[in-house]
Chains A and B, each alone.
Chain A
Amino acid sequence: MKELFLILVGSVLVNNFVLARFLGICPFLGVSKKLKTACGMGLAVIFVMGLSSVVTDVIYDTILLPHDLLFLKTVVFILVIASLVQLVELVLQKLSPGLHQALGIYLPLITTNCAILGVALINIIKNYNFIKSLVFGIGAGVGFTIALIIMAGIRERLELADIPGPLKGIAITLIVAGLLSMAFMGFSGLVKL
């Protein structure tokens, strides 16, 4: 139980996927303009990450490992992630067309979001079992969402701020991302895994 908690804290704060591992930067910069879309994107990523880390873990343990097909892991993982993203897209389109429109191209782009493939691969590298994979996947998704929401909140404020001309737009966003990342370095001593 203690270990699960450590994995959760570790993936949310200490090794935050966006701000410490620098994975999934594309949606981090792309969908962080509005708080509402950021929340939606975060939830979609949590869902895809959690589910994909479990499914990939099962496939890895039951099929790839016993049959010595380890070289297939990247292809299979991407297949799993792509299918899950499609599923999320179908469901969102039906249940929340507004959110679907707001996420736009970034929703199908979760497929190529390296953070999600990263979760699946790190699960294998760290030899996590089913439960640990699930916790790690959800933790990584929550970490991603936290980073996205913090960023969106700051950017909403920045819209109103008086920023020097050359720094307007993406430049100030990148500076903010850097500062956030440094702030998250403060967590680095919290958990040792």
Chain B
Amino acid sequence: MKTIILSIIFLGGLGLIFGLILAYFSRKFAVKRDERVEEVLKVLPGSNCGVCGQAGCSAFAEAVVKGEVPPDGCIAGGNSVALKINSILGLKAESQQKEGRKAVLLCNGGSKVKDRFTYSGINDCKAANLILGGQKECIYGCLGMVSCVEACPFGAIRMGEDGLPIIDTRICTGCGKCVDVCPKGLIILIPRSKDTVVRCKSEDKGAVTAKICKNGCIACKKCETVCKVGAITVVNSLARIDYAKCTNCGECAKVCPKGVIEYGH
């Protein structure tokens, strides 16, 4: 009993002494923090995605208040966050309406493309890609492991039943984290207003693509002919869209015999 009381008194006393010392020093060495940092931090998305180039949302908030980075530096937050930061900092909202971007997947194969071999390594696209470019017959296509799903800080990507990730463009902020993790480079960022996507990245000859993937681009050039503004061209057996020219009319999607070109969601 004596031991218990002694140890309680002793530990409690020690804690109290150290607490007092620390309290004194925290007063003496108090660092004045800018209140605006906290306010800016509150309006940020808070996912610490790091796309702005800072270590996280709190680092970004500090840099913004110091004026080291522009208020519209938060890519995930977009214009609405930039406006809020402007009002906190009392800056005039520069009306440079940057158009947001969204991530799209450039593959339509998924479980429809057969496997060349059974892959039993760790469930990660980069790892799978190291072995002969992945288990799929199409070496350009999506490997269907969940690397991009795990990379998304906003939970905008989920795995569909057809073995392809589905990107929810309403949630997607265009931060580009998934772009970095895909070893096949299948995810790209396109302007938010555009809905036309060539969902294939195979540069195989048309006949080869047709053999291994029902939904692959066979380079028939029908889309190239139908496009009035010359925004879509077939290079290296693959149709590619120049989003700077694309008017989002959707004509190319209508003529595509393989349904590779997707228009709208």
Contact = CB atoms under 8 A, between A and B. Distances in A.
Interface of A: 59, 63, 67-69, 72, 75-76, 79-80, 83, 86-87, 90-91, 93-95, 97
Interface of B: 3, 6-7, 10-11, 14-15, 18, 21-22, 25-26, 29-31
B10 A90 contact: no
A76 B11 contact: yes
B10 A72 contact: yes
Given A93-B29, A94-B29, A69 B10 contact: yes
A104 B13 CA distance: 31
A83 B15 CA distance: 9
Most chain A beta-carbon neighbours within 10 Å: one of B3, B6, B14: B14
B31 A94 contact: yes
A87 B21 contact: yes
A95 B25 CA distance: 13
A79 B22 contact: no
A76 B14 CA distance: 8
Chain A's interface: helix, strand, loop or mixed, by majority? helix
Chain B's interface: helix, strand, loop or mixed, by majority? helix
Nearest to B62: A101
A131 B14 CA distance: 23
B12 to A, nearest CB: 11
A90 B29 contact: yes
Contacts of A97: 31
B25 A90 contact: yes
Nearest to B59: A101
Contact of A75 (B11, B18, B21): B11
B22 A87 contact: yes
B5 to A, nearest CB: 11
B25 A67 contact: no
Contacts of B7: 69, 72
Contact of A79 (B15, B21, B29): B15
Contacts of A59: 14
Contacts of A91: 25, 29
A83 B18 contact: yes
Nearest to B15: A79
A79 to B, nearest CB: 6
B63 to A, nearest CB: 11
Nearest to B130: A166
Contacts of B11: 72, 75-76, 79
B10 A63 contact: yes
Contacts of A86: 22
Contacts of B29: 90-91, 93-95
Contacts of A94: 29-31
Contact of A83 (B3, B21, B30): B21
B25 to A, nearest CB: 5
Contacts of B6: 67, 69
B68 to A, nearest CB: 13
A148 B10 CA distance: 37
A79 B16 CA distance: 11
Contacts of A72: 7, 10-11
Contacts of B21: 83, 87
A72 B9 CA distance: 12
Contacts of A68: 3
Contacts of A67: 6, 10
A67 B8 CA distance: 13
A80 B14 CA distance: 9
A83 B31 contact: no
Given A67-B10, A72-B11, A90 B3 contact: no
CB-based closest 3 A-B pairs: A83-B18, A94-B29, A90-B29
Given A79-B18, A90-B22, A93-B29, 6 more contacts: A59-B14, A79-B14, A83-B22, A87-B22, A90-B25, A90-B26
10 contacts: A67-B10, A68-B3, A72-B10, A83-B22, A87-B21, A91-B25, A93-B29, A94-B29, A94-B30, A94-B31
Nearest to A166: B130
Contacts of B22: 83, 86-87, 90
Contacts of A95: 29
Most chain B beta-carbon neighbours within 10 Å: one of A75, A94, A95: A94
